[in-house]
A and B are shown apart, each in its own frame.
Chain A
């Protein structure tokens, strides 16, 4: 797939060097930086006129770092009196795939518009492939940078092929006919993006994923050294997200420099060589994905708690967002109930702002319904089935993730004894007692034995005291965790960070899967929606 377009390109222009990916425009600048990198201005300005000086040697790699494909120096942009980008400096090396991440309104799209020349910065310098894109004509700039827009609303039903052919616009004179090299470029672009079979279909009638590929094909037909993508995966299903980013990675492997604004942190971490984290128009962090995606950075940029781990399959950095509730001093609570005994606790704790999990419960149980209503992370087993090993493991992981575990005034039998055993592992345990245990034990001696362990470890409360006790224990848990994490810092210090990042507060949980609330399950079942019922229903 990758090779056929190269020979085709190489023989069409004739005079051009085999480095077809980088059209002529960047050549004077990339040639000279060894000698006079600050003075690149003067050679750059006259280069767009000369269309094909085949001076570009494909192996200017030693200077690839000295003269990056994209260099932003202290770029500031204000729109409508509001500062959208604030002294942004970014270098993007040639042939790398850089992801722009950050909350909504952080300036990602604005940054892309500055890079493709649509928006002139108020301050600072922008150089793309050695060119000052804002000094170039729109046409010349479009031979340096191609942009894949997030959405294109096509009112008129052009065939797909015509849309891709429009990518040749910057290369064609007004009265110039369709040349061999235009044909080759379009064919190659369509083959690369696998849209050949759609060529004659109206672009208004293809699916979202297909249209995305058509737009990428259009950008490829521009044959630019730099490719910009604005949310290339937004509104695509998971298969098309992956295919799109695989395609971009392939292009980058062939020497293209790509910059993409990506919402999905995990996709960004997996596919990008480097990430730039924007927040409030500033670069919060830039560099290796693992370094950029720290829990601290994410908290500051997104104003959301997230857990960063390694994905067990891909090995990439993996971010799991936690619900906003866990952002303040509340914490997570796991509730063991059943038959309606836990419903009250669930509602109370939910109203108090705790992040909840519950289970294991039989599907259809009153408490299961209650847990669903409050959005708790619920572990279920089929109706009338006992809690099996898998469910028990799921419960254990939730208990471990929770700051506090609450065992309601539940009737205990052989079927749900495993829940209590799992709860017995909790660090902070609260037992709600209305009736003596003997009245609700149907598990015989085993039941008494387990409950005795619970009583030893946990605090027994009246229903009315539940909230205050849970609050107390959650605070303990937070203190312990903070102390373990960064020594002197306590809970108050953490909320200071939240205040500085408050501009982004309207988007508390901006990472992809907000309902996968389970911390531990990052290792096992995060790809699902975090509800362990999937484990059983399948």
Chain B
């Protein structure tokens, strides 16, 4: 089977899975809504905000011209859906679900790239200090009550990207950035920023709760504007990364080899690092630090689809989306809301260990 076929198959399969998870998740909560109703609501709503016709819905008789994209609820397909259910799904649950999907997508993408970049399956998206950077920005905004354009998210994003860049500069000498140095510089800077965060926490006073909530990783209170922001930021970097999937494969052989095979090693490394950092920063700035997704999902998918990034990158991204939607559903469906990071770890780790035992231990 050619690489393209495999990539397509996995991507389609995992997209289908994501759709199922989204529909199931939207029905789960304080008020249970049957999947069929959810599907109807989604089918109803989907053409409107996105402005494209939906494959599943066009089978139904469509009368008259398609409504303009500004319309929200006046959809041509009037399913008999109770209004409360519609509001719960579209205004309360869907933003959060889509945000989870986008954050999971971003973290898994960045994790895959970082693991390839560092040639180490234990690397994760925040290995160059992106998460710590974002946390410092966000916590500083809360504690010092700063008012910045784009608010806390903006501050988190900017400080995350700046941190990654600083780590890169520290590790670079004479136009070369040894991966090992980068790793160590990332660890050192993360430790330093950890101290800064602790210090800010001590100063936080009244806002301590808010800060801790942010630090634990949060998807509650997601808004459509956050969803829109991520949906706007992510596609370009993702396409860029997929376009470099082959280079990433060759980089896995080591930098000397990659050079001998015609890769402009340092330039490619810069591009991969910058792009992956932006992707991570975007996710972290809206959701806080959600660990484990970027570490475990790429690894799990590598065990399933193999190391070829042309297949692995899209598969991992889509699986990450499904994974975070599912775990966030668990996090919010209990009596009291659990931070989603706790759930990702609790659910991800055992599954990861299972895969490790069954797949990796068997082959020496």
Number of B interface residues, CB 8 Å? 30
- Alpha-carbon gap, A166 to B4, bound state (A): 16
Among A138, A145, A159, A218, the one with the most B-chain Cβ atoms within 10 Å of its Cβ is: A138
B121 & A155 in contact (Cβ 8 Å cutoff)? yes
**CA–CA, A175 to B119, complex, Å?**
24
Cβ of B86 < 8 Å from any Cβ of A? no
B300-358 CB contacts (< 8 Å) to partner A = 302, 306-308
Residue B72 at the A interface, CB < 8 A? no
Q: Which of B4-51 contact A (CB under 8 A)?
A: 4
Q: Given A155-B121, A156-B252, A175-B243, check contact A149 B262 (CB 8 Å).
A: no
Structural contact, B256 and A154, CB atoms closer than 8 A:
no
Interface residue ranges of B89-128 to A (CB < 8 Å): 116, 119-121
Chain A: which residue is nearest B243 at the CB level? A174
Closest-by-CB residue of B relative to A174 is B243
Bits for B255-287, please: 1 = Cβ < 8 Å to A, else 0: 011011111110000000000000000000000
Known: A157-B307, A169-B246, A205-B363. A152 touches B262 (CB 8 A): no
Assuming the A-B contacts A138-B265, A166-B261, A169-B250, are A118 and B256 also in contact, with contact meaning beta carbons closer than 8 angstroms in the complex?
yes
Contacts of A142 in B (CB 8 A): 259-262
Best-surrounded residue of B2, B119, B260, B306 (most CB of chain A within 10 A): B260
Contact between chains at B249 and A162 (CB < 8 Å): yes
0/1 string, A67-93, CB within 8 A of B gives 1? 000000000000000000000000000
Say how far A19's CB is from chain B's closest CB, in angstroms: 21
Whether A138 contacts B121 by the Cβ 8 Å rule is no
- With A158-B249, A178-B2 already in contact, the answer to whether A169 and B261 are too (CB < 8 A) is yes
A447 within 8 A of B: no
Q: Identify the closest chain B residue to A167 (Cβ).
A: B261
Residues of A within 8 A of B119 (CB): 155-156
| Chain B residues whose C-beta falls within 8 Å of the C-beta of A172 in the assembled complex | 246
B307, A152: Cβ atoms under 8 Å? no
Known: A166-B253, A175-B243, A205-B363. A158 touches B307 (CB 8 A): yes
Which residues of A are found within 8 Å of B250, using beta-carbon distances? 166, 169
Verify if A147 is at the interface (C-beta below 8 Å from B): yes
B262 touches A156 (CB 8 A): no
Q: Which residue of B lies closest to A178 (CB)?
A: B2
For residue B69, CB closer than 8 A to chain A, the reply is no
- Output the nearest chain A residue to B264 by Cβ-Cβ distance: A138
Residues of A within 8 A of B3 (CB): 178
Q: Is the CB of B262 within 8 A of A169?
A: yes
Chain A residues with CB below 8 A from B247, complex form:
169
* B261 touching A222, Cβ below 8 Å: yes
Q: Check A117 against B259 for contact (C-beta < 8 Å).
A: yes
Per the bound structure, the CA–CA distance linking A342 and B318 in Å amounts to 78
In the complex, what residues of A have CB within 8 A of residue B67's CB? none
Whether the pair A143, B262 counts as a contact (CB closer than 8 A) is: yes
A157 to B121, CA, bound (A): 12
Instruction: Return chain B residues, CB-CB under 8 Å to A174.
Output: 243-244, 246
Show 8 residue pairs from A and B whose CB-CB distance is below 8 angstroms, ordered by the A residue.
A152-B253, A152-B257, A158-B249, A158-B306, A166-B253, A169-B247, A174-B246, A178-B2
Closest 6 CB pairs of A and B: A170-B262, A142-B262, A156-B307, A139-B262, A147-B260, A169-B261
New A-B pairs, 9, CB < 8 Å, besides A152-B253, A156-B252: A113-B256, A138-B262, A138-B263, A158-B249, A158-B307, A166-B253, A169-B262, A174-B246, A218-B261
